[in-house]
């Protein structure tokens, strides 16, 4: 497993307690992930990337996911953060140009 960890770890594919994939309550973890729990991180430039929907989602579901994600990011602002926390929001599909969205 040590050899796999060196390859899969940097890709974020190894189980970790921080992401909720290592737990004593397996049923609750499966229930959360089936309900749509996602993990997101920011990159070195401070950009946050996350999956918010799929092509099969209705417009209402996509809007609800976007609002929920933005509210969660704003609620997780550290107390020590100064200035504007979210400067701009851009939504795009995998291989398309981004569309600016007002927050």
pLDDT at 1 over 60: no
pLDDT at 9 over 90: no
Give the pLDDT confidence score for residue 59 in this predicted structure.
93
CB proximity list for 45: less than 8 A, separation 6 or greater:
none
Residue 36: enclosing H or E segment and its boundaries?
none
pTM of the model: 0.63
The pLDDT tens digits for 40-77 are: 777 788 788 888 888 899 999 999 988 888 888 888 88
Domain ranges of the chain: 1-37, 41-103
Give the pLDDT confidence score for residue 80 in this predicted structure.
86
**Mean pLDDT of the residues in the chain:** 80
Q: Which CATH architecture has domain 41-103?
A: 2-Layer Sandwich (3.30)
Residue with tokens 């209402």: 60
d(Cα 4, Cα 85) in Å, to the nearest integer?
37
d(Cα 103, Cα 86) in Å, to the nearest integer?
8
Comparison of pLDDT for 50 and 103, the residue scoring more: 50
Q: Are 38 and 21 in contact (CB under 8 A)?
A: no
Q: Are 79 and 87 in contact (CB under 8 A)?
A: no
């Amino acid at each position: 497993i040590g050899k796999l960890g060196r390859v899969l770890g940097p890709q974020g594919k190894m189980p970790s307690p921080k992401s909720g994939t290592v737990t004593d309550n397996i049923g609750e973890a499966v229930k959360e992930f089936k309900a749509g729990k996602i993990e997101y991180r920011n990159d070195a430039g401070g950009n946050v990337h996350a999956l918010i929907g799929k092509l099969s989602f209705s417009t209402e579901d996509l809007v609800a996911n976007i609002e929920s994600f933005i509210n969660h990011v704003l609620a997780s602002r550290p107390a020590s953060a100064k200035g504007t926390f979210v400067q701009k929001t851009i939504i795009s599909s995998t291989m398309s140009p981004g569309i600016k969205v007002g927050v």
